[in-house]
Chains A and B, each alone.
Chain A
Amino acid sequence: MRGMLVRRPLSLRQKMVLAMGGLVLVLGLAGTIHARLTLSNISNDELDRRALAISRGLESPATELLLTNDIFGLYLRVNEITATNADVRYVVVFDSSGDVRASSFAAGLPAGLRSSNPVQTSDPYSLTTLESSEGSVRDLAYPIQGGRVGLIRLGLTKKPIESRVDRLTFNLLGLTGLALAGGLAASYFLGTVLTRPLSGLAAAARAAGRGESAPQHELYAHPEVGQVAVAFDNMTRELRERDEERTQLLAKVMTAQEDERRRISRELHDEAGQALTSLLLGLTHLEQSVAEDDARALLAELRVMTTEAMDLTRNLARELRPSVLDDLGLEAAVGRYVADYGKKQRLDTDFHSGGFGVTRLRPETETALYRIAQEALTNVARHAGASSVNVLLERRDGKAVLVVEDDGCGFDVSVVRGSGSPSAKLGLLGMEERASLVGGTLAVESRPGSGTAIFVEVPIDGGADERDAHPDS
């Protein structure tokens, strides 16, 4: 489907979640990095100060012990330092000629240690970080008495600092994760809360489209969506009112049309028909009283013409609105129409009716069903190419049922409803509208190649809707 390829813009909720997540993540990570750097700087400074302090503490005893060549005393000092300071990896004391006088290394200096941290002559000491098999070590080269007596090399392990920084980082990342989860949940919730009224409105709009709208009162108090909800409700109410007005208007138009047809039909029948009748009778009388053969022949011709005019008038009147429908009811009128129709269209027709008895339906129901039958049969003649039509008119279970079924070419109902020619669509709609105006329903069943059936059901509720066919008897 083409629609699937179109990238849908993110929903408000998704945007909020993304923004909140991104913010928390960036803040958390930046904070963590910053804290890690700061802590490790502070800790390194502290380590350096400790190295210096230890070295300075060792400086004066070492000076004395070196000058007195008390190697054992120096060794004790070195041992004491490594014993009391857990983070001291090594202490080495060199004399002024660069020989090792005391060392905490049991097996001699590791290779490369001696040259690894040279002290510039201008500097009082030199600090550097060495990488060893036991991890990073902060190495201090501290010349004793400016290098005149010797050199102290002190190594402090950075492991405790590193593990402290790592622990801090870990904790901060954990906190960031928690904050992220909380933030995501909060923004999701917020997004839901913010969009719920909109979703509600969207659902209401869909319902209104189906013609089942309920006011969105609970949204009126909503600070943002309230106005939209009020406007929406006003709109649906106006639409509904307009629709009702339209229906009323349509009913009125149809009633007016029917009244007008009835009136013209009666006029034709009564006025024109009766005038022609009297003309016919007058001509007959005249014909009987004149003696000339020529005149009699002419009068006879005129009589025939008058008779034909009467037939025309009667047919015209019946096509407009058959008086049978008013005088004798739906069953008689439809039966007559179907019979005439079959003759005129050269179609096999079969009409069955039942259940009507002597009580009549409401006039508007009778008119609606008659007109629907007429329209359906006209459609069959026009489009179906059928060879036979069945018309069923029954009254049972509190409803009147009309079925018009042909064996013609049929059609795809959904296609005609959707994109069919306007006239075909309007034909269906017109019949549906007529049925719904009298509270009924209309269904069309058809498939290409298998005929068409129109089903109409109109409820007849009880005696109130019935009028006696013979009120005077």
Chain B
Amino acid sequence: MSATRILIADDHAVVRSGLRLILGAEPDFELVGEAATGDEAVREVERLRPDILVLDIAMPGMNGLDAARVIRTAAPEVRIVILTMHDDEAYLKEFLEIGAAGYVLKQAADTELVQAIRAVQRGEPFIYPAMTRQLIDIFLKQSHPAPAPPAADAELSPRETEVVRLVALGYSGQQIADQLSISVSTVETHRAHVMEKLKLHGRAQLVRYALSKGLLDT
């Protein structure tokens, strides 16, 4: 079995040397090159065609996100392992969408990076286990973009529908009252009725309800 060819892209020399120590200790890994910026990473990937690219997000010039996008199109066979301090769901989601194969936190680089590279090399995706929660959240959000429609699919009066629409659009009670030429307390009463009828809790649910009913399409 030939050694796994790895390219490291991180703007910090100390991190690169640390990574060299760790990855160099693995006999079946071969460090083929290093890059300190996003642009350099793109160039080195083009030149060296490594199996694995270990990529940092925060880099001067072209950052990790943009570099990953370019590389995914230019060299789709190169598997990208993101190595970052960010445990934000948004980054994870972004990279999964771009097509990164692995996502490892720097806090876990000591234990998980080697593991991640091996998994990715086998063709399995690798997400740092502590981020599984975020991953599940993303999955749940995508499979249920709107919450389950209200159990009681009650009929709303035209006035109530209008109030729901305006509340969902983010208008204040005063603005809605002005638009409909009614008092603020009437607006609140309508809204409370609707929430009660539809068994909704909170403005966000109301917005999702309005979206699911197509009230905001106009």
Contacts and interface: CB of A to CB of B under 8 A. Distances in A.
A and B co-occur in one complex: yes
Interface of A: 266, 269-270, 273-275, 277-285, 288-289, 303, 307, 310-311, 313-314, 322-324, 327-328, 332-333, 335-336, 339, 350-352, 354, 388, 390-392, 394, 396, 401-403, 405, 407, 443, 445, 450, 453, 455, 457, 470, 472-473
B106 A283 contact: no
Contact of A390 (B88, B91, B173, B202): B202
7 contacts: A274-B10, A327-B65, A336-B89, A352-B204, A390-B204, A445-B184, A473-B70
A40 B19 CA distance: 130
Interface string B30-68: 000000000000000000000000000110001101100
Nearest to B216: A396
Nearest to B21: A285
Contact of B22 (A279, A281, A402): A281
Given A394-B170, A443-B174, A473 B66 contact: yes
A394 B206 CA distance: 14
B38 to A, nearest CB: 9
B94 interface: yes
Contact of B203 (A303, A403, A450): A403
A314 to B, nearest CB: 5
B203 A274 contact: no
A351 B169 contact: no
Interface string B6-35: 000011101101110110010000000000
| Interface residues on chain B, size class | 35 or more
Given A269-B85, A336-B88, A392-B203, A281 B19 contact: yes
Interface of B: 10-12, 14-15, 17-19, 21-22, 25, 57-58, 62-63, 65-66, 69-70, 85-91, 94, 106-111, 169-175, 184, 188, 201-205, 207-208, 211, 216
B110 to A, nearest CB: 4
A472 B61 CA distance: 11
B43 to A, nearest CB: 14
Contact of B12 (A278, A307, A351, A443): A278
Contact of B201 (A311, A388, A402): A388
Given A335-B89, A473-B66, 15 more contacts: A270-B11, A274-B10, A274-B14, A281-B19, A281-B21, A281-B22, A313-B85, A322-B88, A332-B90, A350-B204, A396-B216, A405-B203, A443-B174, A450-B188, A455-B172
Nearest to A442: B172
Contacts of B111: 284
Contact of B208 (A273, A352, A396): A352
B110 A284 contact: yes
Contacts of A332: 88, 90
Which 4 pairs, one residue from A and one from B, show the smallest C-beta to C-beta distance?
Answer: A281-B18, A332-B90, A401-B170, A278-B18
Contacts of B25: 285, 288-289
A351 B202 CA distance: 10
Nearest to B22: A281
Nearest to A403: B170
B69 A350 contact: no
Contacts of B66: 470, 472-473
A280 B18 contact: yes
A457 B188 CA distance: 21
A307 B106 CA distance: 9
A104 to B, nearest CB: 94
Given A445-B172, A472-B62, A391 B204 contact: yes
Contact of B169 (A283, A335, A336, A401): A401
A303 B110 contact: yes
A392 B207 contact: yes
A99 to B, nearest CB: 106
Contacts of B58: 266, 269-270, 323
Nearest to A281: B18
B69 to A, nearest CB: 5
Contacts of B208: 352
A323 B86 contact: yes
